[in-house]
Amino acid sequence: MTFSYVWLTIAYILLLELLLILVTVIIIVLALYQRSASFTSTIEHAAQQDAARITRQLTTTQLTALKLGDPNAPLSSGSLTDNGTTIPYLSQRSASNQFTPFALLITPDRKVAVSSYPARYPIKAPISKLIPYATGMINTALAGSSEKGTIYATSIGYSAGIALPIWHQQHLAGVLYIEHPYIETSSILGILRPIGLVLLSSGLVVLIFSVPIGGIFGLVTTRGLVRRLRNLVIATTLFADGNYEQRVSVTRKDEIGQLEQQFNRMAEQLLESIAQRQQLAGQNARLAERSRISRELHDAISQDLFSLSMLAGGLQTALPHDSPLQTQVTTLGTTTTNTIREMRALLLELRPLQIEELGLTRSLKELAISYSTRLGITVNAEIATIQLNAKAEHALLRISQEALANAVRHANATEITLVLVCHEKQVTLTISDNGAGFNPDKNDIQHGLGLRLMQERVQELNGTFTLQSAPGQGTYIHICLPEEHFCDSRLDR
């Protein structure tokens, strides 16, 4: 990551250099453009003065007899003044390829009549071969009009040309064409070379000093970040290997800190999911064991009890009415019948109900129907359709199973009332029977364990548990759960 800062620093410096070069080029171009506009305006004004002077000379002299250029003028770029141009006269071609101004008088048939540089622009030579780039401007002047000065690009550099018509007695006598050097290529290179050297050298110096600075900055700024990422990777690896207690410390509230928080949250959720899965597996194992015990009791003991009941009935019929064994046989039959009844109640208590699939309402109705059909007990059920969370529904179902089993097995009840309603934002479960009843204040092992389990289930749900019973007066159980156990705090009856 430190090297990324170094490369980023280099990229920024190079981009800055390119930006400086671009700005410099734009400034130079704008300066040249401004200078060219000023230069063409000056050459236009000077050429107009020369054209006026030539027009005056034509009153006494023929066009071909006129002279252009000053033999005593220096071989340089000449000068431009308000009185006209100063152009050197060159009868021989210059040994050096120096950029030299020149002037031409061109006849209407587009040939040179007078030249300030006859060695290079000879008399009677067609302009289309000498200065082809200025043909358009000259044709315009021969048509009696004139254009503004124009900058031309030549092999040596840039020059400014102007073509003006020459009139004599309201007739077009010819065209004055003046070309003056604007700037040489070597001059442009002379301007750009030092600027380029300055930019490149300064950029190189900045680059040399910035690279180590960028490296140090990257090392300092990323050291903590890399350490936190490394700790996160280690924690993730250990967690994937089964160390679910692994956590990372959240030191900052940046993006890495959010990632650390999400990791810890994910770990907590996964641990909770594993605990729930283990709990569910334990519940499934208990339900499977209860189902197995229920099947064993039904297939073995229940069948034996039924056979014993049939034998007792047969003995009672076969013995004489005055036999001294009638009493014992009758007691045996009654005991067997009561045992079968308790066994059926026990089987119903052990029988698991799939509350996850049926829900609390249907499970309680199924439970009431089972006790009515299998044990011949009247069960008055008033079950409202109430949606509670899974823990509350499971607790109420187990309490109902325990209460109904106790009423049948211990109280010999013949009528049971089961009511589930919602009253004043509370869930109320009421179970009452007409059985033998008992004394709640008496420490009765037969009833104590089941009642304690009911109370514990209700206390875990922050509810209230009320028990009323007396010998010979039946039993009344009232359970109330708070609103917090509703699903989305809504009730559907």
Domain residue limits at 418: 358-493
pLDDT band at 252 (very low <50, low <70, confident <90, very high): confident
Q: Is residue 466 part of a domain?
A: yes
301 within 8 A of 343, measured Cβ to Cβ:
yes
pLDDT band at 347 (very low <50, low <70, confident <90, very high): low
pLDDT greater than 60 at residue 393? yes
Q: How far apart are CA 165 and CA 8, in angstroms?
A: 63
Q: Is residue 141 part of a domain?
A: yes
Residue 414 maps to which CATH number? Answer: 3.30.565.10
Q: Is residue 342 part of a domain?
A: no
pLDDT greater than 70 at residue 8? no
pLDDT band at 77 (very low <50, low <70, confident <90, very high): very low
Q: Tokens 């002379």 appear where?
A: 190
Q: What is the pLDDT of residue 490?
A: 39
pLDDT greater than 60 at residue 391? yes
What is the chain's alpha carbon radius of gyration, rounded to the nearest angstrom?
58
pLDDT band at 163 (very low <50, low <70, confident <90, very high): very high
pLDDT greater than 80 at residue 159? yes
Q: What is the pLDDT of residues 358-369, one digit of tens each?
A: 788 888 888 888
Q: Quote the crossing angle between the two packed helices 355-375 and 390-409, to the nearest 10°.
A: 10
**Among 149, 178, 193, where does a domain finish?**
193
Q: Is the dihedral of CA 58, 61, 67, 72 positive or negative?
A: negative
Read off the pLDDT of each residue in 428-451 and give the average, rounded to a whole number. 79
CB atoms near residue 363 (< 10 Å): 22
**Among 174, 193, 212, where does a domain finish?**
193
Q: How far apart are CA 58 and CA 488, in angstroms?
A: 112
pLDDT greater than 80 at residue 130? yes
103 or 3, which is more confident = 103
Q: What percent of the chain has pLDDT over 90?
A: 14
**Among 158, 193, 228, where does a domain finish?**
193
264 within 8 A of 270, measured Cβ to Cβ:
no
Q: How many domains does the chain have?
A: 2
Q: What is the pLDDT of residues 14-44, one digit of tens each?
A: 777 778 777 877 887 777 667 677 778 888 8
Q: How far apart are CA 391 and CA 481, in angstroms?
A: 12
pLDDT band at 475 (very low <50, low <70, confident <90, very high): very high
pLDDT band at 138 (very low <50, low <70, confident <90, very high): very high
Does this model's pTM top 0.85? Answer: no
191 or 426, which is more confident = 426
Q: What is the pLDDT of residue 380?
A: 92
pLDDT band at 425 (very low <50, low <70, confident <90, very high): confident
Q: Is residue 52 part of a domain?
A: yes
Angle ∠(19,21,25) on CA atoms, nearest 5: 120
pLDDT greater than 50 at residue 432? yes
Q: What is the pLDDT of residue 493?
A: 36
Closest to 121 measured CA to CA, from 92, 150, 86 = 92
Which of 85-94, 144-153, 455-464: highest mean pLDDT?
Answer: 455-464
**For the purposes of burial, counting CB atoms within 10 Å of the CB of 311, is it exposed (0-12), middle (13-18) or buried (19 or more)?**
middle
Q: Quote the crossing angle between the two packed helices 390-409 and 445-460, to the nearest 10°.
A: 170
| SS3 (DSSP) at 477 | strand
Read off the pLDDT of each residue in 178-182 and give the average, rounded to a whole number. 83
Q: How far apart are CA 437 and CA 217, in angstroms?
A: 85
Q: Is residue 457 part of a domain?
A: yes
Closest to 354 measured CA to CA, from 363, 367, 346 = 363
Q: Is residue 465 part of a domain?
A: yes
Residue 103 maps to which CATH number? Answer: 3.30.450.20
Q: Round the average pLDDT of the chain to a whole number and report it.
A: 78
Among the listed ranges 252-261, 275-284, 348-357, 389-398, which one has the minimum average pLDDT value? Answer: 348-357
Read off the pLDDT of each residue in 271-286 and give the average, rounded to a whole number. 78
Which of 39-48, 98-107, 279-288, 470-479: highest mean pLDDT?
Answer: 470-479
390 or 296, which is more confident = 390
78 or 447, which is more confident = 447
Q: What is the pLDDT of residue 377?
A: 84
Beta-bridge partner residues of 179: 102, 161
